[in-house]
């Protein structure tokens, strides 16, 4: 018997594998292809010779927990307790899984927006919970009226992604205030705020739940060093939650991974003294603008991209195929891999939209755009 009968291999695995098979430029799964900061690799090389190879404490390497508390203080003016409110996780994915396993039980409803990142729903199903999908508006803003209607006494959690993957939408102050007013009416609901692209926002500033006193004491907030420092393969991120929730999350974490690999924790804790997170958004804004300019001569229509390193485009002017078939043909015939947006929907809504990752060096973006403009 399958515990997840309707879940198939993640689209990121499928598309990256196919891109490799056909030697296509891989703009599907989100990961950078440019070199990591030499400062970070120097730190790792030095640390490899030091005594950092055994288990760290379960919740994380204490110096890293302290540095994260300082980062959150500096970025969002929030004071958090390193020992009780932070957990280092093997990527945000593990933090999300552990949080949902720890806090959602059989029959609990969890509101997940539609479209959404692909891991939330299977996580809820494995915990015995009931995913309740609420469609976003056509412009990808949350439909707060529908969300409010979806909340009831069985609702245990609302999951939001801000900035949003795959659409690149970010929440406005009006959105956050609506969320606050809804949650004020449902004091038992926990907010899971997935903010892994927190440092990749463009014209509009990121509004973190860290900055909202009414929400943060009932919220689990996830972060990703992979996204922020171009090291997705390190699989390291963290969760911030108030102590009463964190105590439960740690119970799952300790029997899932016990602790996260030590050398990356030590390396990041040193690197945080050198790196400036304010430089990440301008860096990616240049990439977004460059990629958009390169595609402006193509038949793809560019959707707004307010944050993340993903550009969604419509191929309506090119083909009537569904987006999965189109993505496959794009790889085989044109040598570029993308992610079909339908896979982020509960029922595979096909809007002729695909997602490109622009976290690539300029030569890669130029060659990809040359191929895409020829279609």
Of the pair 158, 339, the CB lying nearest ligand GLN is at 339
Cα(220)–Cα(94) distance, integer angstroms: 13
**167 interacts with ligand GLN by CB under 6 A:** no
Q: How far is the CB of 301 from ligand GLN (least distance, A)?
A: 21
CA separation for the pair 277, 3 (Å, rounded): 40
User: Does 270 interact with ligand GLN (rule: CB under 6 A)?
Assistant: no
172 half-sphere exposure, CB direction, 13 A CA radius: 9
How far apart CA 340 and CA 15 sit, in angstroms, is 9
Across-strand partners of 237?
A: 89, 224
Q: How far is the CB of 264 from ligand GLN (least distance, A)?
A: 17
What 3-state class would DSSP assign to 209? Answer: helix
Say if residues 126 and 101 touch (Cβ distance below 8 Å).
yes
**Shortest Å distance, C-beta 11 to ligand GLN:** 9
Chain positions 18 to 37 lying near ligand GLN, rule: CB under 6 A, are 29-30
**CB nearer to ligand GLN: pick between 165 and 342:** 165
Q: What's the min distance (Å) between Cβ of 341 and ligand GLN?
A: 12
Gap between the Cα atoms of 80 and 86, Å rounded: 8
- Cβ nearer to ligand GLN, comparing 82 with 166: 166
How far apart, in whole angstroms, are the C-alpha atoms of residue 71 and residue 79?
10
CB-nearer residue toward ligand GLN: 261 or 343 = 343
Residue carrying the six token digits 């997170």? 277
User: What is the x/- site pattern for ligand GLN, positions 87-116, by CB under 6 A?
Assistant: ------------------------------
**What residues contact 168, with CB distance under 8 A and at least 6 apart?**
303, 304, 305, 306, 307, 308, 310, 311, 312
| Min dist. Cβ of residue 30 to ligand GLN (A) | 3
Helix (H, G, I), strand (E, B) or coil at 239: strand
Closest to ligand GLN by CB, 28 or 269? 28
**Residues of the chain by 3-state class (helix, strand, coil), percent to 5:** 45, 15, 40
Q: Does 12 bind ligand GLN (CB under 6 A)?
A: yes
- Do 214 and 184 contact (CB within 8 A), yes or no? yes
Least CB distance to ligand GLN at residue 246 (A): 24
Question: What residues are paired with 310 via a beta bridge?
Answer: 357
Q: Which is nearer to ligand GLN, 232 or 322 (by Cβ)? A: 232
Residue number with CB closer to ligand GLN (85 or 195): 195
x-or-dash string of contact with ligand GLN, 30-69, rule CB under 6 A? x---------------------------------------
Q: How far is the CB of 304 from ligand GLN (least distance, A)?
A: 18
Rounded least distance, CB 147 to ligand GLN, Å? 23
- The residue within the footprint of ligand GLN, chosen from 116, 165, 311, 342 (CB under 6 A), is 165
Q: What is the rounded distance in angstroms from the CA atom of residue 257 to the CA atom of residue 94? A: 9
For residue 11, give the nearest of 348, 359, 373, 369 by alpha carbon: 348
Q: Which is nearer to ligand GLN, 105 or 233 (CB)?
A: 233
Binding-site size, ligand GLN (CB under 6 A): 5
Minimum distance between the CB of residue 125 and ligand GLN, rounded to whole angstroms?
A: 17
How far is it, in rounded angstroms, from Cα 340 to Cα 28?
9
Decide whether 11 or 59 has the Cβ nearer to ligand GLN: 11
Positions touching ligand GLN (CB under 6 A) are 10, 12, 29-30, 165
């Amino acid at each position: 018997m399958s515990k997840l009968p309707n879940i198939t291999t993640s689209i990121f695995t499928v598309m990256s594998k196919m891109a490799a098979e056909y030697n296509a430029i891989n703009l599907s799964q989100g990961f950078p292809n440019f070199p990591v900061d030499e400062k970070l690799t120097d730190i790792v090389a030095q640390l490899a010779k030091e005594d950092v190879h055994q288990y760290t404490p379960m919740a994380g390497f204490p110096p890293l927990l302290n540095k994260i508390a300082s980062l959150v203080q500096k970025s969002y003016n929030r004071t958090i307790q390193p020992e009780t409110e932070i957990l280092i996780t093997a990527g945000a994915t593990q933090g999300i899984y552990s949080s949902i396993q720890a806090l959602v039980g059989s029959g609990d409803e969890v509101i997940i927006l539609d479209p959404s990142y692909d891991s939330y729903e299977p996580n809820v199903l494995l915990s015995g919970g009931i995913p309740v999908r609420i469609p976003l508006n056509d412009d990808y803003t949350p439909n707060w009226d529908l969300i409010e209607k979806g909340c009831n006494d069985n609702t245990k959690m609302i999951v939001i992604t801000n900035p949003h993957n795959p659409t690149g939408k970010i929440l406005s102050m009006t959105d956050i205030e609506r969320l606050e007013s809804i949650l004020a009416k449902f004091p038992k609901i926990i907010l899971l705020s997935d903010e892994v692209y927190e440092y990749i926002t463009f014209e509009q500033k990121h509004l973190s739940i860290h900055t909202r006193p009414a929400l943060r004491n009932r919220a689990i907030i996830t972060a990703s060093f992979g996204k922020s420092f171009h090291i997705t393969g390190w699989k390291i991120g963290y969760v911030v939650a108030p102590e009463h929730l964190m105590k439960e999350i740690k119970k799952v974490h300790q029997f899932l991974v016990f602790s996260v690999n030590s050398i990356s924790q030590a390396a990041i804790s040193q690197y945080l003294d050198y790196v400036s997170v304010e430089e990440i958004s301008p860096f990616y804004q240049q990439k977004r603008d460059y990629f958009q300019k390169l595609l402006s001569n193509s038949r793809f229509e560019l959707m707004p991209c307010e944050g993340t390193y993903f550009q969604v485009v419509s191929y309506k002017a090119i083909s009537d195929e569904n987006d999965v078939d189109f993505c496959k043909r794009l790889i085989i015939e044109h040598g570029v891999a993308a992610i079909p947006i339908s896979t982020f929907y509960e029922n595979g809504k096909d809007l002729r939209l695909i997602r490109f990752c622009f976290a690539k060096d300029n030569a890669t973006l130029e060659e990809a755009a040359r191929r895409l403009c020829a279609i």
